Amino acid sequence: MLHQFWKRRTLPLVALLLVLGALAGGTAIYQTVSQPETVAAAATTDWGLSFQTEGQPPIGNASPEALRELGARFLGDPSQPVIYITFDAGFENGNTAPILDALKKHNAPAAFFLVGNYLDTAPELVKRMVAEGHVVGNHTMTHPDMSKISDLDAFRTELTGLEDKFREITGEELPKFYRPPQGKFSEENLRQAQSLGYTTVFWSLAYVDWYADRQPTPEQAFAKLIPRIHNGAIVLLHSTSATNAAILDELLTRWEEAGYTFGSLTDLALTDH
């Protein structure tokens, strides 16, 4: 399946240890690591997180300051109890409609990072996302490892192809938010996206929700998503997850009861200026 392929990645040891703390389905690994000051310019990096303190933002393998200079974010304002909900999707399997229903019930804006196949096969859901006030973001046309594309024209084609499809379906321009496929990036990639007017959006909270045939139980999902939520969280979920569709109403309720509100990526972008 596409979603399984996307997430099977070979990580350098350091990146692997970082990612396990955020995404592992088993016991979390909590590491003491120094916050990086710069993004490596030459090497490809897999986005990774280290959770140090429950309820506090994690440390990424690039600092918020370095990312911001390159037009990228993984976290909102850590002083504000606002959550930014995002979904990645490469295909539709019936779970997006109930997810949209839950978001509507809670008046919670979200961002859906879509690939070309999704726009081809589920245009009515794309229209619904837009009509209900959600952001549709760019997850590229074909979901390649964009860090292997050094030519700006080839990089641009992966993004503008999706822009064109979105315009054909909705009559609107695609919002300029980009999420790198597989979480792979380099400084050159980020500069390429920035030169095309995009904000690159990583995440500060996620869990293993993408295997259609190995979905976590609701209890397992809550065990990852409740204690690790934090101010300014950019949450990555997958709209192909039956578990997410089943629990989202309760999940949003529990986050609200903990004092959080829900923000749009469009609001987050405004804080950069």
User: CB under 8 Å to 81, separation ≥6 — which residues?
Assistant: 231, 259, 260, 261
**Residue 147 phi/psi, 5° resolution?**
-70, -15
Active-site position among 3, 143, 230, 238: 238
The two three-digit tokens of residue 167, written as one number: 């315009």
Axis crossing angle, helix 187-195 with helix 152-170, rounded to the nearest 10: 50
The residue to which tokens 């045939």 are assigned: 213
Active-site position among 3, 46, 88, 134: 88
Report d(CA 60, CA 202) in Å as an integer: 10
Q: HEC string of 103-129?
A: HHHCCCCEEEEECHHHHHHCHHHHHHH
User: CB under 8 Å to 93, separation ≥6 — which residues?
Assistant: 212, 240
Residue 88: active-site member: yes
Report d(CA 197, CA 155) in Å as an integer: 13
Residue 238: active-site member: yes
For residue 244, what are the CA distances in angstroms to 31, 77, 190, 238, 251? 28, 25, 30, 8, 9
Residue 38 is given by DSSP the state S
The catalytic residues are 88, 238
